[in-house]
């Protein structure tokens, strides 16, 4: 048995303790945030809050319009971003021969994912709302979110495309299939898991986004159908939280929304992990 000197012992003990304290602190922060928000928010989540719209006559606040707006914007953004992102990924893995071009595209995607959401909001306002004359509308907000989430969908799809064995493609070519037929029948079915993962991650980001939506989707709380909704201004849950907390001092409502957002975030996280596990198991079969 070799002896370890006192100084080394102290070093090891201190480092170990610091690591554990840091990890515990991280966990404690998450635990505190979760419990505090749920404890303050859940008592305020009532049926009335969930299923009505705000009424100036009775002074009641309802968040149904905000829930629907969040849903509309999520659907619209995902429907547009999935084909764009998946298509870009297919181009990069299946078509692109020019290494320089691939590097440029990947650098562009990385740049996009580093740009802060407030800048997206500003450019979205200038381009979609003013230049394309969409006004502040859910559609303008959704399109802004499309640009934001494009790199995410692209990356997840690319990763899943890389797991499609090269021999599948060669087999299809060998049977006389053209490039497009091979992609349609062999490659695309193989990237479903990447697309789904990208969808879930994007949904989480859209749910939590606020800065990019302030000036593109606006603050209105009107109750609309899907297509009218897209053309009119509307606050999502996060924007509504901000307005109620910062501008109107309605902390009860703000915490209720925060609690709902927390639960949804938790659900999306669970979904993401279980889907990842499912695909991993299926692939190893």
Contacts (CB under 8 A) with another protein, residues 170-209: 178-180, 183, 204, 207-209
Asked if 269 is part of the footprint of another protein (rule: CB under 8 A), the reply reads: yes
| Half-sphere exposure for 90 (CA within 13 Å, toward CB) | 19
SS3 content of the chain, % helix, strand, coil (to 5): 80, 0, 20
Read off the DSSP letter of residue 17: H
Q: Closest approach of Cβ 107 to another protein, in Å?
A: 7
CB nearer another protein, residue 228 or residue 266:
266
Q: Closest approach of Cβ 19 to another protein, in Å?
A: 4
Q: Closest approach of Cβ 69 to another protein, in Å?
A: 15
Q: Which residues contact 222 (CB under 8 A, 6 or more apart)?
A: 53, 65, 232, 234
Distance CA 114, CA 148 (A): 9
CB nearer another protein, residue 104 or residue 228:
104
Q: Is 147 left (phi over 0), alpha (psi -120 to 50) or beta?
A: alpha
- Choices 3-11, 165-173, 223-231, 274-282 (CB under 8 A): range interacting with another protein: 3-11
Q: Which of 27, 35, 50, 192 binds another protein (CB under 8 A)?
A: 27
Q: Closest approach of Cβ 147 to another protein, in Å?
A: 5
Q: Closest approach of Cβ 222 to another protein, in Å?
A: 18
* Size of interface with another protein, in residues (CB under 8 A): 89
Q: Which of 44, 69, 117, 202 binds another protein (CB under 8 A)?
A: 117
CB nearer another protein, residue 78 or residue 183:
183
CA dihedral 82, 87, 92, 97 (to 10 degrees): 180
Window 202 to 241, contacts with another protein (CB under 8 A) = 204, 207-211, 214-215, 238-239, 241
Asked if 79 is part of the footprint of another protein (rule: CB under 8 A), the reply reads: no
CB nearer another protein, residue 138 or residue 206:
206
- Which helix H or strand E contains 227, and what residues bound it? helix 226-231
CB nearer another protein, residue 157 or residue 232:
157
Q: Which residues contact 125 (CB under 8 A, 6 or more apart)?
A: 136, 140, 215, 216
- Choices 49-57, 71-79, 87-95, 189-197 (CB under 8 A): range interacting with another protein: 87-95
Q: Which of 42, 71, 122, 220 binds another protein (CB under 8 A)?
A: 122
Q: Is 120 left (phi over 0), alpha (psi -120 to 50) or beta?
A: alpha
Asked if 261 is part of the footprint of another protein (rule: CB under 8 A), the reply reads: yes
Distance CA 222, CA 214 (A): 16
Asked if 67 is part of the footprint of another protein (rule: CB under 8 A), the reply reads: no
Asked if 274 is part of the footprint of another protein (rule: CB under 8 A), the reply reads: no
Distances (CA, A) of 129 to 122, 176, 182, 236, 277: 10, 48, 40, 17, 41
């Amino acid at each position: 048995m070799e002896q370890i000197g006192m100084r080394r012992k102290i070093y090891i003990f201190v480092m170990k303790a610091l690591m554990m304290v840091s990890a515990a602190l991280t966990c404690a922060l998450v635990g505190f945030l979760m419990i505090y928000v749920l404890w303050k928010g859940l008592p305020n989540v009532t049926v009335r809050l969930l299923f009505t719209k705000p009424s100036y006559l009775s002074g009641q606040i309802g968040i149904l319009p905000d829930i629907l707006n969040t849903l509309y914007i999520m659907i619209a953004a995902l429907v547009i971003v999935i084909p764009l992102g998946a298509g870009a990924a297919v181009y990069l893995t299946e078509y692109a021969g020019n290494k320089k071009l691939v590097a440029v595209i990947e650098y562009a995607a990385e740049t996009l994912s580093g740009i802060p959401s407030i800048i997206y909001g500003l450019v979205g306002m200038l381009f979609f709302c003013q230049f394309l004359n969409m006004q502040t509308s859910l559609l303008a907000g959704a399109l802004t979110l499309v640009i934001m989430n494009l790199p995410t969908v692209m990356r997840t799809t690319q990763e899943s495309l890389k797991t499609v064995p090269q021999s599948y493609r060669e087999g299809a070519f060998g049977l006389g299939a053209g490039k497009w037929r091979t992609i349609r029948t062999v490659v695309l079915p193989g990237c479903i898991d990447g697309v789904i993962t990208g969808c879930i991650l994007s949904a989480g980001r859209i749910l939590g986004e606020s800065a990019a939506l302030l000036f593109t989707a606006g603050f209105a709380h009107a109750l609309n159908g899907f297509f009218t909704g897209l053309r009119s201004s509307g606050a999502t849950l996060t924007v509504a939280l901000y307005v109620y907390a910062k501008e109107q001092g309605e902390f009860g409502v703000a915490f209720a929304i925060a609690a709902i957002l927390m639960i949804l975030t938790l659900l999306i996280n669970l979904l993401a992990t279980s889907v990842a596990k499912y695909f991993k198991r299926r692939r190893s079969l």
